[in-house]
Amino acid sequence: MTVWRKLLRHRLGAVGLAMLAVAVLVAIFAAVIAPYDPYENVRVSIDDIYQSPSPQHLLGTDDAGKDVFSGLVYGARVSLLVGFAGAFISLIVGGVIGLVAGFKGGRLGNGLMRFTDFFLVIPELALQIVIVAIIGQSLRNIILVIGLLGWTTSARLVRAQTLSVRARKFVERARAVGASDLYILRRHIFPQVVPLMLANAVLTISLAILAESTLAFIGLGDPTVISWGQMLNFAFTRGAVSAGAWWALVAPGLAIVWVVLGVTLLGNALEDLLNPRRGRHFLEPEPAMPAEETVGPAAERGAPAVLAVQDLAVEFVVAGARMRAVDGTTFSVRKGEALGLVGESGSGKTTAMLAALRLLPPGGEVVGGSVLLGGQNVFALTADELRDVRWTRMAMVFQGAMNALNPVRTVEDQIVEAISLHDPDLSKSAAQERAAHLLEVMGIDADRGSEYPHQFSGGMRQRAMIALALACDPDVIVADEPTTALDVMIQAQILELLKKLQRELGMALVLITHDLGVVAESCDRVVVMYGGIVAEQGTVEEVYSDPQHPYTKLLMEAFPDMEDPDRPLVSIPGLPPRLDRLPPGCRFAPRCPAAFDRCQVERPPSYVLSPGREASCFLLESRQVVGV
Amino acid sequence: MRGRLVLRKLGWALVTLVVVATFNFMLFRVLPGDPAKAGLRDPRLNQEAVEAARIRFGLDKPVFVNLEGGSPFDSQFFRYIGSLAEGDLGTSYAFNNRAVSDLLGRALVNTIWLVLPAQILAIVLGVVMGLVAAWKRGTAIDVGSLLFALFMWALPTFFLAILLLFFGGRWLGLPTGGRVTLGATYESGWEQAVDILRHLLLPTIGFALVLIGEYLLVMRSSVMEVFGEDYIQTAKAKGLSTIQIIRKHAFRNAMLPIVTLIALNLGFTVSGAIQVETVFSWPGLGKLTVDAVSQRDYPVLQGTFLLLAVAVIVANLIAELVYLRLDPRVTEV
Amino acid sequence: MSEGAAVVRPVTEPVVILDDVAVSFARGRRLVDVFRRRPGSVVQAVDGVSLELRPGEVLAIVGESGCGKTTTANLIMGLLRPSRGRVIVDGQDLAGLAESDRRRRRRRMQMVFQDPYESLNPRMTVGEIVAEPLQVHRATATRGESETLVLQALERAGLRPAERFLAVRPVELSGGQRQRVVIASALVLEPQVIIADEPVSMLDVSIRADILNLLASLATKQDIAIVMITHDMSTVAAFSDRVAVMYLGRVVETGPSRQVLTSPRHPYTQALVSVVPVPHPSRRRPPLVLVGETPDPSRIPPGCRFHPRCPVAFARCPQVDPPLFDVGGGQKAACLLVGG
């Protein structure tokens, strides 16, 4: 099985597994390994007591003159038995209660959870002590008590997991198909919950082992069996400290640590594997930037560009493999211009803009090209210079405004923070005034600035995010899918606002979107990206009335036009290229109806068709204009 | 909106309290063994004396509801609840018939002396180390702290206490048991304070070390989670430095799970106290519990039990209220 | 009435009729409400909706979030019982049917969800997913029979060669292929009705047309009635026969899709149509952007529920709740300017 293999490759997990395996083997073959039988009654003389380690007694002797090493070996049996059996009981009880509570919800579910809460309040060890003291100190009783009192953690975990699986769409679909509760539990919920229960089971075992040793140490162990806790209890209460017999204390203690640590490492590894954490970490140190390159004259044409991206190349390192997400992309935006960056998922449009602000997620790395922001190469800036440039020259409206705002700080506070950061001389009240003004501009009542993001509707959150982007009066605003996931009317409101702001403030706007209609409505120029390269760019009029690249043409034909509902919509056959398997020639060749041999092996350069109008397709080679 | 939430939490804590008190009463009745016989098993007592004691402790009354005439509330249960309301926890069987509340009060103070500094130490160190480990993810610092935390977690509390007692006492000459040096006379209050502090040192360190591991682990994973949130990217884009981002955006969000953990940990603190106090003969609640168990002193056990549960309920309540303040999103229970 | 004895019905007879249905959800009576002796607030999710669904036709239900389109879909599916009005399936009132009969009816109603990445269980193979409805309804006697039906359904959903997909898990498929798997598992029980909830909104533009064309061909070639829930007006125009525009739990305008979209009569429809971006810069026109957001469905405005946001509202609008007025050609609009 693959989990098995992954576990062995997980270093700490493999170590844990090995530690546990050693303990289990020792327990099974105790009779073979132990030099003496600790259950055997032998006469001892006073000299046998607390003998220091010697070849006869590897770990010395205890208060009764018995071999500590043999005690350890036989003690493994008791500790592991209590651990496994106790955990088993906890898991069954907790699992059933958690599953029912999570799946049924409502009164029954709530009631069960309240019941669990009561148990969480009762100090477990104190209760265990009292119950064992009263019902008697037999091994069976100890297992029962540990098992029956340890179920609460499993119950909570299983319930949380069940709740989240139950809310998933495929469960809803099964319900819509007409499946019964039992069927859904068996077929959809149980298989998803079991793996996590496994990781939990491992941790429960370690808790049970600890509980047994603690009870035994306090003197509530089964007096007829030898366990590590029991050995510590005898040593501690019968003079090992004053006799200086460290071996009688340290050996059983380390044995417990050995097993618990092994089990814990194993459990941690299982959890890592079954429930992998999001690998993102936005505060990781940035990889080195490419050496500064000379800026070609091609960047400057007409009005000076506020943002010029030149031959930008970005790679992602995933599991050791390098994948090129953006490959030699060149485009620019001028002051007062709205640029649409269009492409399907994976086309590199967002990555290119994140790279331009040096905000690539971990694993992302700029490997070539330059980004000029107001004439300054962003990649050549020091960390301090970069912080000064951010938000004052270029601000970004991130996709998904819900997550892009800090949930525990008020909206106004987050805007004020940006203003004060870049204008430290401004008084607090002046900054607040400006924040309130920006919110009003965005159509949000200034009073509501003191509210938290979750109190806003989706549309309002997006407005607040734009107000935040305006905080430092940037030269360029990048808006990443600003209207996705919003209702149509709200989409229209946001787009109108963006257009109005851009017109009135004269800033440059880069609109990242997959929606050709949005670009047609609100942009001056458009850059069409495909598989990390610019397929075509030009003014919106040019590109929409006379698309040159086969991809652009097909994309236009795939996009529905409400005013022309009779035009049949096409689908582009095949799938967008996978970054780890980029075609050697033209990125679009595998799906291109016009592709010929050369397209499969050679990458077409970007041909300049007229000033500002470029397309990357061999079919246009003869039409390029040289020396503009 | 949130005022009602606070009320609801308070109400819920009260309900839990009542349920726990009832459970506490039942536990000592349902379990096998007549408490009177258990408490009064001195063979010198004759039948009459036992009967007298039964009447004195109210054990002759019906358990739950009095249906034998008289007030229906004249039962063991309602007497118990009634005296609880007056703060009367009964008298000890074993400790010279002293009032349980008196015994508990003294023990509680000692336990707080032990637990509070240890908790604070563990929280501060655990949070800081967890933060650093997450920040320096994948480095030697991170792996080192992770292993340290896991090892501490795997170490049984009583074993760690024994190690400290054995080696601390031997090599550092620190006192290894009790609260004060027996038979010592002090020339000043200062001297007495120093003596108590010296006695406190080892148990506190032991306790703190045991707690640190879990705080470190939870903080580490919580911070890592937060570092991947979109609003951290926003803060970075705004031009904040890493330190500013951690201070203003990451820390508070990352602390949310810690707050819950601190409250839940109180249950563990109790079990930790039992172990540490047993090893160091520290006269706190934990030692009282163990002593009461060995003496089968039910009123004291019942009292400690209730007190421990109340402590956990109160701590949970405080944690929930703190959580409410920290996280404005919470509007539902 | 048992399944086998189904009457042969004329093609034009509706499969599903919603007759003035309403659904309200109690928003829970809180403790404060109990003390003050008042009922908990009630959310009118759907309030007086009448719709007819015919075999072979694609009906689009359009509206913003909170307009009641999902509740309407659940009513058609029989997953919700109306608090008022009747849901008639194949000429039979669902209210009069026993639970077992309702379940059997449900076989003929299948659903296609919005998110093909989430609506497939990652641990099951495509073969298992498509066979699931058969299993749940114990519709096939043998394994072989079940496999034949699964293969047929995959073929009909455009996954060819079907055999190659049987053992594949959803992770290995693209978004478009996953949505086809969802459609195949809807087809396997030979449904009369398929409800598609935003079936392409999560897919890349370049493959949307395929899925929409597939759904449309299921309607025309196999006489399945399709309900398409969407907010995208441009797909409505291209892929549906009739449209119902909903606002706050009401159908405010309905009729043949082309007609409604080219000459909308209700101000809300007019606004919705005007804000659809046209994919050509030369045809830009000023959109009619409504201010504000859709109100909370627990606080429905009096009179015409659209009047607070309506750009052409006049004095009578807050007083009169307009019914659907016939404007000819099968088009109806609930606006006083049309019929009052």
Q: What residues pair up with A308 in beta bridges, in sequence order?
A: A332, A372
- Residues 394..413 of A with a Cβ closer than 8 Å to B: which? 395-396, 398, 400, 403-409
Pick the residue from chain A with its C-alpha nearest to B250: A406
What is residue A613's three-state secondary structure?
Answer: strand
Closest CA to C228 of C262, C193, C252, C273: C193
Q: Three-state secondary structure along A340-406?
A: EEECCCCCCHHHHHHHHCCCCCCCEEEEEEEEEECCEEHHHCCHHHHHHHECCCEEEECCCHHHHCC
- Between A73 and A242, name the one with better pLDDT: A73
CB contacts, 8 Å: B163 with chain A:
249-250, 253
Does C263 contact A at CB distance below 8 Å? Answer: no
Cβ-nearest to A214 among B19, B275, B327:
B275
What is residue C51's three-state secondary structure?
Answer: strand
* Helix (H) or strand (E) run with residue A457 in it: none
**For C265, how many CA atoms within 13 A lie in the half-sphere containing its CB?**
25
Residue in C201, C206, C242, C262 to test binding to A, most A beta-carbons within 10 Å:
C206
**8 Å CB contact of C275 and A491:** yes
Give ∠ CA B244-B250-B252 in degrees, rounded to 5.
Answer: 110
- Give the pLDDT band of residue A508 (cuts 50, 70, 90): very high
The pair of three-digit structure tokens given for residue A94, joined into one six-digit string:
């907790």
C226-285: per-residue pLDDT in tens?
999 998 888 888 899 999 999 999 999 999 999 999 999 999 999 999 998 888 888 888
What is the Cα–Cα distance from A196 to A194, expressed in whole angstroms?
A: 5
CB contacts, 8 Å: A265 with chain B:
150
Give chains near C: 3+ CB pairs under 8 A.
A
Cβ-nearest to C279 among A180, A544, A554:
A544
The pair of three-digit structure tokens given for residue C150, joined into one six-digit string:
């699964």
What is the Cα–Cα distance from C323 to C340, expressed in whole angstroms?
A: 9
What is the Cα–Cα distance from C79 to C195, expressed in whole angstroms?
A: 12
Per-residue model confidence (pLDDT) at position A291? 64
**For C154, how many CA atoms within 13 A lie in the half-sphere containing its CB?**
25
What is the Cα–Cα distance from B44 to B42, expressed in whole angstroms?
A: 5
What is the Cα–Cα distance from C127 to C164, expressed in whole angstroms?
A: 10
State which of A157-166, A169-178, A431-440, A558-567 shows the largest mean pLDDT: A431-440
CB contacts, 8 Å: A575 with chain C:
174, 176
Residue spans of alpha helices (H) in A122-189: 124-135, 139-149, 151-166, 169-177, 181-184
Q: Is A137 exposed, middle or buried (0-12, 13-18, 19+ CB in 10 A)?
A: middle
Specify whether the CB–CB gap between B81 and B68 falls below 8 A.
no
- Residues 148..177 of C with a Cβ closer than 8 Å to A: which? 174, 176
**8 Å CB contact of A571 and C208:** yes
Residues of chain C above pLDDT 90, percent:
49
Specify whether the CB–CB gap between A479 and A397 falls below 8 A.
yes
Residue spans of alpha helices (H) in A311-348: none
Q: Cα C48 from chain centroid?
A: 16
- Residues 58..97 of C with a Cβ closer than 8 Å to A: which? 64-65, 77, 79
A99-110: per-residue pLDDT in tens?
988 888 777 888
Closest CA to A534 of A347, A302, A323: A347
- Residue C323 one-letter amino acid: P
Å between A291 CA and nearest CA of chain B: 23
Closest CA to A266 of A5, A17, A84: A17
The pair of three-digit structure tokens given for residue A549, joined into one six-digit string:
């690249």
CB contacts, 8 Å: A491 with chain C:
275
Q: Three-state secondary structure along A545-604?
A: HCCCCHHHHHHHHHCCCCCCCCCCCCCCCCCCCCHHHCCCCCCCHHHCCCCCHHHHHCCC
**For A209, how many CA atoms within 13 A lie in the half-sphere containing its CB?**
34
**8 Å CB contact of B224 and A406:** no
Residue in A234, A283, A359, A412 to test binding to B, most B beta-carbons within 10 Å:
A283
Dihedral over alpha carbons C7, C10, C12, C17 (to 10 degrees)? -20
CB contacts, 8 Å: C110 with chain A:
176-177
A311-343: per-residue pLDDT in tens?
999 999 877 788 899 999 999 999 989 999 999
DSSP line for B219-242: HHHHHHHHHTSHHHHHHHHHT--H
Closest CA to B274 of A214, A239, A144, A151: A214
What is the Cα–Cα distance from C28 to C18, expressed in whole angstroms?
A: 27
- Give the pLDDT band of residue A433 (cuts 50, 70, 90): very high
**8 Å CB contact of A418 and B16:** no
- Residues 327..346 of A with a Cβ closer than 8 Å to C: which? 344-345
What is the Cα–Cα distance from B119 to B211, expressed in whole angstroms?
A: 7
**8 Å CB contact of C294 and A487:** yes
Q: What is the pTM of this model?
A: 0.85
Closest CA to B153 of B272, B242, B262, B236: B272
Pick the residue from chain A with its C-alpha nearest to B230: A404
Residues constituting chain B: 333
CA diameter of chain B: 85
- Between A287 and C69, name the one with better pLDDT: C69
Which single residue is written with the structure tokens 């905080």?
A: A471
Does A413 contact C at CB distance below 8 Å? Answer: no
Q: Cα A61 from chain centroid?
A: 52
Q: How far is CA A193 from CA A99, A106, A196, in A?
A: 9, 20, 6
Q: What residues pair up with A397 in beta bridges, in sequence order?
A: A479
Other CB atoms within 10 A of residue A473 CB? 16
Does A246 contact C at CB distance below 8 Å? Answer: no
Tens-digit pLDDT string for chain B (333 aa):
577 788 888 888 888 888 888 888 887 776 555 555 554 545 556 677 667 766 766 666 777 777 766 677 777 777 777 777 777 777 777 676 778 888 888 888 888 888 889 999 999 999 999 999 999 888 899 989 988 999 998 899 899 998 888 888 777 777 777 777 666 677 777 887 888 888 888 889 988 998 898 899 999 989 988 998 999 999 999 999 999 999 999 998 998 888 878 777 766 677 788 888 988 888 888 888 888 888 777 788 888 888 888 888 888 888 888 888 888 887 654
A148-171: per-residue pLDDT in tens?
888 888 888 888 888 888 888 889
Per-residue model confidence (pLDDT) at position B53? 66
Per-residue model confidence (pLDDT) at position C34? 53
Pick the residue from chain C with its C-alpha nearest to A190: C123
